[in-house]
Amino acid sequence: MLERQEKTALVALVCVVGIVLAAHLLFGAVGRPLVATPYSDDVPDGALVLLEGRIEEVRETATGGHLVLTVNGTAVFLPQDAAAALELRENESVTLYGVVQTYRGKREVVVSSAADIRVLG
């Protein structure tokens, strides 16, 4: 049988894990808009940004599987696992979250999962 101190420690541990998990889920659902910066050319690499606009182009990378979108003149990279879960078409309006990076001298927004893109129509 567990001693009283062990039971208390186990309950405290379960509570802490529950709180951390709840905070993680809550931040994932509503936290990004609080910390994301609207995309602009002035945003530094590594920043989480919000990009809204119309898809001007959808193309697959040369190695296949990955997608590169052009949204309001900005390149948006979708890795294969994110791209596979989405059907994106030109002229659709989207809202997306991603991280700014420079790839081969050009700025782009990298989206990490399909949940980071919302098609508005």
What CATH number does residue 61 fall under? 2.40.50.140
- Encoding tokens for residue 31? 């936290």
Q: Are residues 59 and 103 in the same domain?
A: yes
Query: Taking a C-beta distance cutoff of 8 angstroms, is the pair 49, 36 a contact?
Result: yes
Q: Are residues 2 and 31 in the same domain?
A: yes
Q: Which helix (H) or strand (E) holds 118?
A: strand 117-119
| pLDDT tens, residue by residue, 44-78 | 999 999 999 999 999 888 887 888 999 989 999 99
Q: Are residues 30 and 85 in the same domain?
A: no
Query: Taking a C-beta distance cutoff of 8 angstroms, is the pair 54, 43 a contact?
Result: no
Domain hosting 9: range is 1-35
For 75, the 3-state DSSP assignment is strand
Which of 34, 104, 38, 93 is closest to 69 using CA atoms?
A: 93
Q: Are residues 43 and 82 in the same domain?
A: yes
Q: Which pLDDT band holds residue 36 (cuts at 50, 70, 90)?
A: confident
- pTM as predicted: 0.71
Q: Are residues 43 and 76 in the same domain?
A: yes
